[in-house]
Structure 1
Amino acid sequence: MFDHVVFGVRDYDKSREFYLKVLEPIGVAVVSEGELGIELSSDGKSSLCIRRKLEKNPAHLHLAFVAENRAQVQSFHRTALEIGAQDNGGPGLRPNYSDQYYAAYVIDPDGHNIEMVCHEDMS
């Protein structure tokens, strides 16, 4: 899990809606919102900070969020596609990472690779 991640977006409102919807299954909600942008968290220990347009073309990044179970990974992927995200790898095991690595990937409104991963042991 990360402590915090901060990045700028081109369309703040679209990105705000995207992250609130796709991260709802793991309890992510608004911690604060102001002139700079929004801070989201599910546990008060780590946060995702989305900043209003900071530059013409924000740098691409990869974010991986921890899910407690595989159903949350599936919900994340389904919801993201329903609201227009691009599929970048459907829910499934990724044995090249580990025997328990169950993940899904989408591309967000700014082209960032967003992952939801569960390390739940199903054996």
Structure 2
Amino acid sequence: MLDHVSLPVSDFEKSKAFYVAALAPLGVSIQYEEGVDATGTTPFVGFGNEAGPAFWLGGHMKADQHMSHVAFKAKDRPTVDAFYAAALAAGGIDNGAPGIRGHYGEHYYAAFILDPDGINIEAVCHLPPDAGAS
């Protein structure tokens, strides 16, 4: 159901060190990290295992931005498209139309919506467009 979750933290370095230590016994470690120089807004770090990052932390963002984020797994690209349409029809605000996000991965096809509280929700499919086609 869930692909990944992102949370804002008040002290990025302190929280990062805490999760490095706390998650190590679970076989979870840093899989991806970017600083403010790359993001332009806030540092973030993704924790995970051999399957990739699934738990993300981000430093404080500007007052008008949200860092809380939930990404739901979609079985295919048409499902991402259907999520986007349904979420818009339900009153969500466009935060990124369906499409490839190549900076996240070659086949990272996702759509982003802000929910009624402004939380960024996403549907994502990691499969190539012809996956499952006969």
TM-score normalized by structure 1? Answer: 0.51
Query: Runs (4+) of structure 1 moved beyond 4 Å?
Result: none
Counterpart AA for 2:89: E
Matches within 5 A, 1:16-31: none
Q: Return closer, same or farther for 1:87/1:119 CA change in 2, 3 Å cut-off.
A: same
In structure 2, C-alpha distance between the alignment counterparts of 1:80 and 1:104, rounded to whole Å: 10
Q: Which has the higher contact order (CA 8 A, sep 6+)?
A: 1
- Report the counterpart of residue 111 of structure 1 in structure 2: 118
The answer on whether the counterparts of 2:77 and 2:129 sit within 8 Å (CA) in structure 1 is no
Using the aligned pairs only, state the percent identity. Answer: 49
**Greater strand proportion:** 2
**Aligned residue number for residue 83 of structure 1:** 90
2:78 to 71, 95, 102: 71
Query: What is the root-mean-square deviation of aligned Cα atoms in Å?
Result: 2.2
Distance 1:78 1:2 in 2: 19
Conserved? CA contact 1:105–1:115, under 8 Å? yes
Say if 1:93 and 1:103, in contact at 8 Å, map to a contact too: yes
- CA deviations on 1:38-72 (whole Å, 9 max, x unpaired) are xxxxxxxxxxxxxxxxxxxxx86100000010011
Look up the equivalent residue of 2:126 and give its one-letter code.
H
| Greater radius of gyration (CA) | 2
Give the TM-score taking structure 2 as reference length. Answer: 0.47
- Aligned ranges for residues 22-101 of structure 1 at < 5 Å? 61-101=68-108
Counterpart CA distance in 2 for 1:90 and 1:122 is: 17
